[in-house]
């Protein structure tokens, strides 16, 4: 068994695709409209779905915003340099909600950014040996 994808409901598909591709550097792997169900699915990721887990962005055509609730945490992305990743996010118009730096109770360097719908993405800097 393996994890295939994580599904996020998004209010503005174009804005979300732009964030995940232009700000975070993912690729649109596939996208399909379902007119009878009034929704669109777009799959984005860093590699092909056969190689790793991806994100499924679900856009219900009649819903512009969702309540994220208090059970959702975040998506984690490994980066070479969290400080540089934050600088790139800002340069590309993204929102950094926690600047890069060591964890409160540890040494791992992390940062958080936010997508257009308010979902949090954690950058975890690769450890050097």
Report the catalytic residues: 122
Structure tokens at 14: 């174009």
Contact 73, 21 (CB under 8 A): no
Contact 50, 23 (CB under 8 A): no
Structure tokens at 13: 């598909």
Contact partners, residue 114, CB within 8 Å, separation at least 6:
94, 95, 97, 120, 121
The Cα 24–Cα 59 span in angstroms is: 19
Helix (H, G, I), strand (E, B) or coil at 9: strand
């Amino acid at each position: 068994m393996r994890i295939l994808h994580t599904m996020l409901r998004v209010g503005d598909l174009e804005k979300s695709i732009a964030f995940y591709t232009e700000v975070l550097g993912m690729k649109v792997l596939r996208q399909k409209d379902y007119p009878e169900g009034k929704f669109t699915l777009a799959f984005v990721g860093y590699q092909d779905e056969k190689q790793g887990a991806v994100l499924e962005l679900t856009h219900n055509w009649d819903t512009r915003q969702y309540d994220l609730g208090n059970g959702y945490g975040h998506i984690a992305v490994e980066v070479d340099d969290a400080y540089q990743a934050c600088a790139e996010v800002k340069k590309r118009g993204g929102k950094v909600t926690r600047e890069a730096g060591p964890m409160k109770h540890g040494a791992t360097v992390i940062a958080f950014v936010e997508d257009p719908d308010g979902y949090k993405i954690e950058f975890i800097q690769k450890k050097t040996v």
